[in-house]
Amino acid sequence: MFLIDVVGVRHVQGHQLELKFADGLCAEVDMDKVIKRYSGVFLPLKDDAYFAQVRVDPELGTITWPNGADVCPDVLYSFASGRPIVVNGERVLN
């Protein structure tokens, strides 16, 4: 796991976000790759205007939306950096 907080977010367009991490990494992430698999709390995010309401929650160290949806910062860092998440020696994401 990376354990690196998200410290900045900028909505680019559609479901594209520019993310800045505490270690200085700054990258654009296509959030469709992250959220398209899920429903429930993520359903409102399919609306571009709602999606654009993304903010950083410094207490959680990640991005959130008004309905409480958030994404694990390790998942975001994996997509932003291209580095896989490895658990017990097994690649589980990216």
Tens digit of each residue's pLDDT (9 = 90 or more) over 4-22: 999 999 999 999 999 999 9
Q: Which residues of 37-71 are buried (b: 16+ CB within 10 A; e: fewer)?
A: eeeeebeebeeeeebeebebeeeebbbbbeeebbb
CA distance 82 to 94: 7
Task: Give the model's pLDDT for residue 90.
Answer: 87
- Is the confidence at residue 37, as pLDDT, over 80? no
Task: Give the model's pLDDT for residue 13.
Answer: 94
CA distance 76 to 7: 12
CATH fold of 6-93: NE0471 N-terminal domain-like (3.30.2020)
Q: pLDDT tens, 64-77?
A: 999 999 999 999 99
| DSSP assigned state of 68 | S
